[in-house]
Structure 1
Amino acid sequence: MKVRKEVKEAMEVLGIDQCRRGQLKPIGKILKGKDVLLIAPTGFGKSMVYQIPAVCWADRLTLVVEPLVALMHDQVKSLQSRGIRAAYLDSTQSAKEQEKVLHKVRQGSCSVLFVTPERLESHVFQKTVRKVDIALLVVDECHCVLRWGASFRPAYQKIGAFADGCSPRPVMLAMTATCPPEEREELLDALQMQDAICVERSLYRSNLVFLKKRVQSREGAKQALLQCLKKYGPQRALVFCTTIPCAKAAAEELKKHYPGEVALYCGKEKRDEDRILRGEARIIVATSALSMGLDLPDVELVVHLQMPLSLADYYQMAGRAGRNGETARSVLICCDADYRTNRYLLQSTLEGSSLERALELLDEIKNFCDEDRACMVQSLLGALGEHVKRCRYCTNCQKEKRK
């Protein structure tokens, strides 16, 4: 694909020698004023898809909605190092610091502004941005708009109304690694995206090996986790838990075996966040929230100590491994007790059609855990709308090979 002059110039600013396969198409659509839904795996480089247009439209504002503060800080630091006028607004700043950022926005001296979805509801914020020209509105991790997802955030459902209230209405880019075909229309409707073009890339990750281990109890799950860490001896590992109590208990247990090497990230307890982002913790225990805010390239092992709420959530978290292209493993520890726990969690927080859909997705991942013959990669990506050949390396493929 021929690269436009303005795109080449933006790439030079960002220090990019060449775009990866598939990045130029959504960039071109955005620069033509089209709304885009981008579905691509972790490691694809989705940030480049909005950063290049942002540089092309540097005299206007690109507003990026991120679910986690940690990811915002990381992105802003990277852009500022390239001389790009980037900033963020979040709860860690004082009122004076926030006003300083808003002043830059009003003066037109900010090209890229990162905010959480909740910030869009602020009257002070709305009053400021309504007076500036927002060229591009980026919605990262846009699957958070779906009510039945583990990552659901109510504020995401108000983003579409915010965009429609801007004059002129900005071009919108929504990005995610997981959005099955049957959910796309609802996602686009919830964000009120206009005639959006869906651009999707293969979710298949040839360097990521999917494994699973069935256990009979929580004690068995703990032992399986310790065995995984000992067997694969990773440079860096992520341990995901569905519940906060499980995450805290796992972190305490691992600290006994790996003193000084374990960090915990769950809920509002983020004391180890800086250590995690600096890459100082070798083993990170977290709830699903971290799956959207972590950009460490050298994760070699992801272990799910509890069953995730859906296959989409599972793939989102597993995808944190092997972002540098090196061989990595994702191990799913399966325990029937997790299914009952997850049903209780969903029934306690959802109702109506949202609960019905969430329980369907939970049954889907339970079947995935129970299935011992079908290729794990085929089953997983098939549920996400993509058909691939048997991987030959997952637990089930290896089991069939030995027969």
Structure 2
Amino acid sequence: MKPDYELKPAMKKMQIESLRKEQIKPIQSILKGQDTIVSAPTSMGKSLIYQLPALVHSHQLTVVIEPTLALIYDQVKKLQELEISADYLDHTRSKLEEISVFDALSKGRLTLLYVTPERLQSTRFQSALSMCDLYMVVIDECHCITEWGYTFREAYLQIGHFIEKLSRKPIVFACSATIQKYTVEDLSDKLHLDSPKWFRCDLTRKNLILIKKDLTMEDRSLENRLYSRFKAVKKVVRKYQGTGSVVIYASTIDYVDALYDYLSEYFPGQVVRNHSKMRPHKKEKMLLDFLTGQRKIMVATTAFGMGVDVPDIELVLHFNVPLSMVDYVQQIGRGGRDGRKCHCVLFYEQNGDDQKIFTS
């Protein structure tokens, strides 16, 4: 399917020769000025769906709301490498850097600005935005509105209020890999969308091989159960890891640290970890080692994954059962992005808590 003529300069800027048909229809919807929602697998290239229209309207501003700083840094880095006028605002920026971004905003020099939902509550940011020619507001990973908004990220529930207060309503684009019909209705209500177009792509990832591993033991002592799981992790990694990367999800920081220490003995020089209690410089160094392929095994809490684009992940292992099916789908979606086979192994025990994901 050929893209519209007006997209060609933007595609050239992004160094893209062709688009998938699943991308073109929502892009056309945005270019027609319609609020648009896309449900598509993680490997489909959802970012291009809003980035290309943003480049077509490069004289206007597109604000992109991301759930994690990792996602923001990754997207901005890629765009800046293509010499596209993109930047970000977050709490890590120095005063001089922040002044520079606000100056670029005031002079209309930015095409894409990446922020977290918390930034929208800043009166300074709201004031700066009121002076901009705002083309579009993007909510990436929009399932976070309902998944996180009612618990620890209340700012997500204020996005709709932020949009409603704008002097001129921009186009709104929301995307995620986990959107159902009832979610679309909820999003439309919370974001004050105007008869949004919903594009639901085939979420089937045939290269993901799902495996449930029952680790139920007669011996219910915690020490023996954990030791059994640790040995099972080592066995699974040895069985399924080839030349690619591995992500192991654990539910707590203590589990991550223990798994890191355990696996480092058997896979020396290959293991890194990621969780919120790590020192920033060490966390960044380990993440970079994983992203560049210098180390191949990542042990992390379930927050890890959004914004991480490692194409050769060939094993996703869940040490614990995720909290929900939405979390599970998001996390295994990081595997097999290069199109090759990826084994997704889920450890569980036959008790009430572990069975919830299979019946939710």
The TM-score, its normalising length taken from structure 2, stands at 0.91
For 1:176, the equivalent position in structure 2 comes to 176
Whole-Å Cα distance in 2 between the matches of residues 45 and 151 of structure 1? 29
Equivalent residue number for residue 71 of structure 1: 71
With over 3 angstroms needed to count, the CA separation of the structure-2 counterparts of 1:118 and 1:305, relative to structure 1, is same
User: Residue 41 of structure 1 aligns with which residue?
Assistant: 41
C-alpha separation between the residues in 1 aligned to 2:350 and 2:61? 49
Q: Which moved more, 1:272-281 or 1:318-327?
A: 272-281
Mapped partners of 2:148, 2:141: distance in 1? 15
Name the counterpart of 2:272: 263
- CA separation of 1:247/1:189 partners in 2, compared to 1, >3 Å: closer, same or farther? farther
2-side partners of 1:78 and 1:280: how far apart?
Answer: 20
Paired residues, number: 346
Distance 2:150 2:177 in 1: 14
> How far did 1:159 drift?
1.0
The worse-fitting range, judged by mean Cα deviation, of 218-227 and 54-63 is 218-227
Match of 2:329 in 1: 315
Q: Which amino acid aligns with 1:240?
A: Y
Q: Is 1:333 the counterpart of 2:347 in the alignment?
A: yes
In the alignment, which of 233, 240, 250 is matched to residue 241 of structure 1? Answer: 250
Between the aligned partners of 1:149 and 1:221, the Cα distance in structure 2 is 33
Q: Please give the alpha-carbon distance, in whole angstroms, between the structure 2 residues aligned to 1:57 and 1:148.
A: 31
* Aligned residue identity for 2:289: R
Determine what percentage of the aligned residue pairs are the same residue.
Answer: 38
Q: Secondary structure at the match of 1:290?
A: coil
Cα distance in structure 2, aligned partners of 1:79 and 1:28: 22
The C-alpha deviation readout for 1:311-356, integer Å capped at 9, x for no partner, is: 121111001110011111111111246927xxxxxxxxxxxxxxxx
Pairwise CA RMSD = 2.0
Q: AA paired with 1:26? A: P
Deviation at 1:15, TM superposition (A): 0.7
Kindly indicate whether the alpha-carbon contact (under 8 Å) linking 1:66 and 1:117 is maintained by their aligned counterparts in 2: yes
Deviations, residues 128-180 of structure 1 (Å, cap 9, x unaligned): 11110110111011000114789963211111111112221110111100123
Partner secondary structure for residue 303 of structure 2: helix
1: distance between equivalents of 2:189 and 2:25? 23
Q: Distance in 2 between matches of 1:244 and 1:268?
A: 8
Q: Secondary structure at the match of 1:59?
A: coil
SS at 1:146 equivalent:
helix
Query: In 1, Cα distance between the equivalents of 2:114 and 2:183?
Result: 26
Instruction: Summarize the Cα distance change of 1:193–1:143 in structure 2 as closer, same or farther, 3 Å threshold.
Output: same
- SS of equivalent residue, structure 1 residue 211: strand
SS at match of 2:113: strand
Distance in 2, matches of 1:76 and 1:335, equals 41
For the residue of structure 1 that corresponds to 2:83, the secondary structure is coil
- How far residue 273 of structure 1 moved from its aligned partner, in angstroms, is 3.1
Asked whether the equivalents of residues 148 and 156 of structure 2 are also in contact (C-alpha less than 8 Å), the reply is: no
1: distance between equivalents of 2:128 and 2:258?
44
Give the CA deviation at 1:268.
4.4
1:25 corresponding residue in structure 2: 25
Segment of structure 1 superposing worse, 103-112 or 158-167: 158-167
Residue 394 (structure 1) aligns with: none
What is the alpha-carbon distance in structure 2 between the residues aligned to residue 189 and residue 18 of structure 1? 34
Verify: 1:192 aligned to 2:159, yes or no: no
2:222 equivalent in structure 1:
none
Which residue number in structure 2 is paired with residue 229 of structure 1? 237
1:7 aligns with 2:19: no
- Alpha-carbon distance in structure 1 between the residues aligned to 2:17 and 2:258: 45
Q: Which amino acid aligns with 1:253?
A: Y
Select which of 191, 198, 219 maps to 2:227.
Answer: 219
Q: Which amino acid aligns with 1:84?
A: I
Partner of 1:138: 138
Please identify runs of 4+ aligned residues in structure 1 that moved more than 6 A: 148-152
Deviations 1:215-266 (A, max 9, x none): 0233222222111111112321000122222222222221222222111112
1:143–1:152 CA contact under 8 A, matched in 2: no
Q: Describe the SS at the equivalent of 1:273.
A: helix
- Given that 1:151 and 1:288 are in contact with CA atoms closer than 8 Å, whether structure 2 keeps it comes out as no
Q: Is the alpha carbon distance of 1:300 and 1:277 closer, same or farther for their aligned partners in structure 2, counting shifts above 3 Å?
A: same
Preserved CA contact (<8 Å) 1:60 1:134:
yes
Distance of 2:228 and 2:151 partners within structure 1:
28
Contact 2:149 2:157 (C-alpha < 8 Å) held by counterparts: no
Evaluate the alpha carbon distance shift between residue 45 and residue 254 of structure 1 in structure 2; reply closer, same or farther with a 3 A threshold: same
TM-score (ref. length: structure 1): 0.81
- Which ranges in structure 2 are unaligned for 5 or more consecutive residues? 217-224
- Residue 2 (structure 1) shift: 4.6
Residues 91-114 of structure 1: CA deviation (Å, up to 9, x unaligned): 221122111111111111111111
2:229 and 2:83 map into 1 onto residues whose CA distance is 48
Residues 132/45 of structure 1: CA separation in 2 closer, same or farther (3 Å cut): same
- Note the residue ranges of structure 1 that are not aligned, 5 or more in a row: 341-361, 368-382, 384-403
Give the corresponding residue for 1:83: 83
d(CA) in 1 for partners of 2:268 and 2:154?
38
Q: Which amino acid aligns with 2:295?
A: A
CA contact (8 A) 1:307 1:333 kept: yes
